[in-house]
Amino acid sequence: MTKHTGLQNWVEEMRGLCSPDKVVWIDGSAEEKKRLEEDAVASGEVLRLDEEKLPGCLFHRTKGNDVARTEHLTYICSPEKDDAGPTNNWLPPEEGYRKASEILKDSMKGRTMFVIPFSMGPVDSAFSKIGVEITDSLYVVLNMLIMTRTGSRVLAKLGTEGGFTKCMHGKAGLDENKRLILHFPEDNAIWSVGSGYGGNALLGKKCLSLRIASALARKEGWLAEHMLILGLEHKDGHIEYVAASFPSACGKTNLAMLIPPEVMKAKGYRVWTVGDDIAWLRVGADGRLWAVNPEAGFFGVAPGTNSKTNPNAMATVKKNTIFTNVVLADDHTVWWEGGDGEPPASGLDWQGKPWKPGTKDAQGKTIAGAHPNSRFTAPASQCPCLSPKWEEPQGVPISAIIFGGRRARLAPLVYQSTSWEHGVYVGATMASERTAAQVGSQGEVRRDPMAMLPFCGYHMADYFAHWLAMGKKAAKPPKIFHVNWFRTDEKGKFLWPGYGDNARVLEWILQRCRGEGKAVQTPIGHVPTPDALDLAGLDLPADALGKLLEVRADEWRAEAADHKVFFDSLGPKLPAELRRQNEELVRRLS
Ligand code: GTP
Ligand code: SPV
Ligand code: MN
């Protein structure tokens, strides 16, 4: 398969460690995909869904203890603890390798070890990064075939000397007591054992494209971010691009694929998707930031996705899609909470137990059929609104960066920062309620700077310094905004309709980038005046807009104090500029 001796030697070494019966190199061909799917069906790892209603679609259930990323088992194994910083778990590299090796030892006996060469980014782009994932999971192989560019063309590009990220994955019994997701930035290596779940096991995604890439990006002078990329087309056909970073399960896929409401469509607006989860950003020759989506597919949250909230996603998952941990109906179709149509009269829930609508647990609580973090894996090429520029090697130019979180209170619908430095402060102090995308207590508000808390591969204070430096490096940096689609009223009901109506906010954001759009200056930044957003055709309750745009000084004073507590927790490396921004904010609020 390859004449790359470094790669051959590494694969041999891993074969020696894991003792599989055989080694299979993935070539990325259509025949191979078909064969692998048949093997996965035969072994029971996946099930084929109804060929008429869901052609080419597969169904998979993960183990009940393996349904979301496990941040407490995720480590940055840099030589020094201080390189990983206080927000990451750390293990000395030797200890990481030793622990994972003990778990992997002979763990593939009687089974096949797959070797997947893959490219993050178009194979022929100079900015792309190559990885090779070794895994004993056919489910992982089938997902990687959708999420990344794989096979012989990648090996051809790698040649005999090319650098690549060593991505070692083993199921090792899927034992949660033997689960570790380890990153070795110095060695350009990732070792993941004991999990078969998305972000823990598809190593090109969060592990390579964010944790390893962010560390590399710092050295090379670019940014690897947890961001969607979209283009907003105007009446005259001109397209402006924005990148938005929201924490997991906070609306990236939905915003990336949004369909504007009728009044916005009538004004000529249309959204084009470039990416829904990860962006690599570089300063272009023109001084602007240019963004590339390194992925080739979408690994999206199923619950809440339906033909009203996200018609483009529903069209994307009609064929050649893998569904994980959703309801399996008796007729071999799938369903999830907040999905299309009525739930099936009977089927199996995400744990494989008989389920029908209204099933209750011992305490009388309704049991959800699909896991709240159930997912679809679908090729980007099937997305009806996929941007014609999604594979442009140099990416698309970014006019605005949008940060956002899930905040029931405090943060207004949208506000604009007053400078790059202030914008970095806004991103650095982002917070959000915990969702089902990660194991832990749901709903709890935590700081999640730039939505990168679980994904930054180095010290968070150094990361902020790198962001500040990037603003200096770019002559025409994007303007920075913050949004919150999740503010609620006293009864806990969302004040803003969200989804397609978020186009109204995008319009204002891009107006502001052009020096238009009405705003009032508040202590936290520029907030739209009540008449600045186009709300035509929206049926907002009388007092909703006021509440959505409200900036309460008392609440923000407490927030600013908490920003300081967070900054203090990052230690002496915190850039002085961010401390200054905090003091300024406190001053403006007093
Ligand atoms: P990851 O794939 O985990 O990174 O998530 P994501 O950021 O792509 O989130 P996604 O778009 O999948 O949305 C997650 C959940 O939030 C889904 O249940 C959506 O239905 C819901 N959601 C998305 N956008 C909005 C919105 O504008 N308003 C409200 N209320 N809910 C939304
Ligand atoms: C996220 O959790 O942000 C995801 C899904 O996009 S995962 O691949 O598990 O990281
Ligand atoms: Mn994500």
Predicted pLDDT of residue 113: 98
440 CB burial (10 A radius; 0-12, 13-18, 19+): middle
Asked if 60 and 46 count as a contact pair (C-beta separation under 8 A), the reply is yes
Nearest CA to ligand 2 atom 4: 248
Q: What are phi and psi of 61, to 5 degrees?
A: -120, 130
pLDDT band at 12 (very low <50, low <70, confident <90, very high): very high
Predicted pLDDT of residue 1: 80
All residues with CB under 5 Å from ion ligand 3: 248, 277
Rounded Cα–Cα distance for residues 209 and 554 (Å):
40
Rounded Cα–Cα distance for residues 249 and 203 (Å):
19
Per-position b or e across 177-196, b if 16+ CB within 10 A of its CB: ebbbbbbbbeebbbbbbbbb
Predicted pLDDT of residue 323: 98
Q: Tell me, rounded to whole angstroms, the distance of Cα 286 from its chain centroid.
A: 28
pLDDT for 170-190, tens place per residue?
Answer: 999 999 999 999 999 999 999
pLDDT for 33-49, tens place per residue?
Answer: 999 999 999 999 999 99
Rounded Cα–Cα distance for residues 144 and 393 (Å):
21
Q: What is the 3-state secondary structure (H, E, C) of 320-387?
A: CCEEECCEEECCCCEECCCCCCCCCCCEECCCCCEECCCCECCCCCECCCCCCCCEEEEEHHHCCCEC
pLDDT for 348-361, tens place per residue?
Answer: 999 999 999 998 98
Between strands 47-48 and 334-335, the pairing is unpaired
Residue 439 clears pLDDT 80, i.e. is over it: no
Rounded Cα–Cα distance for residues 428 and 574 (Å):
11
Q: How far, in Å, from the CA of 246 to the mean position of ligand 1? A: 9
Nearest CA to ligand 2 atom 9: 199
Q: From the CA of 300, which ligand is nearest?
A: 1
Nearest CA to ligand 1 atom 14: 249
Q: Give the tokens for residue 585.
A: 């904010």
pLDDT for 391-433, tens place per residue?
Answer: 999 999 999 999 999 999 999 999 999 999 999 999 999 999 8
Return the best residue to mutate from 254, 487, 504 for the ligand 1 pocket (most ligand atoms within 8 A of CB): 254
Pick from 587, 520, 527, 586: nearest CA to 559: 586
Any alpha helices (H) in 456-534, and if so which ranges?
Answer: 460-473, 502-513
Predicted pLDDT of residue 123: 96
pLDDT for 528-560, tens place per residue?
Answer: 999 999 999 999 988 999 999 999 999 999 999
Predicted pLDDT of residue 556: 97
pLDDT for 138-150, tens place per residue?
Answer: 999 999 999 999 9
Return the best residue to mutate from 62, 69, 146 for the ligand 2 pocket (most ligand atoms within 8 A of CB): 69
Q: Is the pTM of this model over 0.85?
A: yes
Q: Give the tokens for residue 60.
A: 């998979």
Rounded Cα–Cα distance for residues 435 and 407 (Å):
12
Residue 101 clears pLDDT 80, i.e. is over it: yes
Q: Which residues contact 356 (CB under 8 A, 6 or more apart)?
A: 343, 344, 345, 346, 347
Q: Is 304 in the pocket of ligand 1 (CB under 6 A)?
A: yes
* Axis-axis angle for helices 420-428, 460-473 (nearest 10): 160
Q: Which residues pair with 438 in a beta bridge?
A: 69
Ligand 2 contacts (CB < 6 A) are 69, 198-199, 205-206, 248, 277, 299, 437
Pick from 302, 486, 353, 348: nearest CA to 410: 486
Asked if 203 and 209 count as a contact pair (C-beta separation under 8 A), the reply is no
pLDDT for 201-236, tens place per residue?
Answer: 999 999 999 999 999 999 999 999 999 999 999 999
Q: Give the tokens for residue 466.
A: 């790198």
pLDDT for 244-294, tens place per residue?
Answer: 999 999 999 999 999 999 999 999 999 999 999 999 999 999 999 999 999
End-to-end CA distance of the chain: 67
Ligand 2 atom closest to 69 (CA) = 9
Mean pLDDT score of the chain, rounded to an integer?
A: 97
Identity of residue 77:
C
Side-chain-side CA neighbours of residue 276 (13 Å): 33
Rounded average pLDDT over 522-526:
98
Side-chain-side CA neighbours of residue 560 (13 Å): 22
Predicted pLDDT of residue 553: 97
Residue 442 clears pLDDT 90, i.e. is over it: no
Indicate which residues carry an active-site annotation.
Answer: 250
pLDDT band at 347 (very low <50, low <70, confident <90, very high): very high
Pick from 122, 185, 144: nearest CA to 27: 144
Nearest CA to ligand 2 atom 3: 248
Q: From the CA of 438, which ligand is nearest?
A: 2
Nearest CA to ligand 1 atom 28: 498
Q: What is the dihedral of CA 258, 259, 261, 264, to 10 degrees?
A: 90
Residue 440 clears pLDDT 80, i.e. is over it: no
pLDDT band at 195 (very low <50, low <70, confident <90, very high): very high
Return the best residue to mutate from 146, 205, 276 for the ligand 2 pocket (most ligand atoms within 8 A of CB): 205
Q: Which residue has the tokens 């203090």?
A: 568
Rounded Cα–Cα distance for residues 344 and 479 (Å):
47
Rounded Cα–Cα distance for residues 285 and 100 (Å):
43
Predicted pLDDT of residue 522: 98
Neighbours of 152 (CB within 10 A): 16
pLDDT for 369-388, tens place per residue?
Answer: 999 999 999 999 999 999 99
Q: Is 252 in the pocket of ligand 1 (CB under 6 A)?
A: yes
Domains of the chain by start residue, with CATH: 5-45+70-220 (3.40.449.10), 225-293+390-589 (3.90.228.20), 297-382 (2.170.8.10)
Distances (CA, A) of 156 to 141, 151, 160, 162: 20, 9, 9, 10
pLDDT for 470-483, tens place per residue?
Answer: 999 999 999 999 99
Residue 237 clears pLDDT 80, i.e. is over it: yes
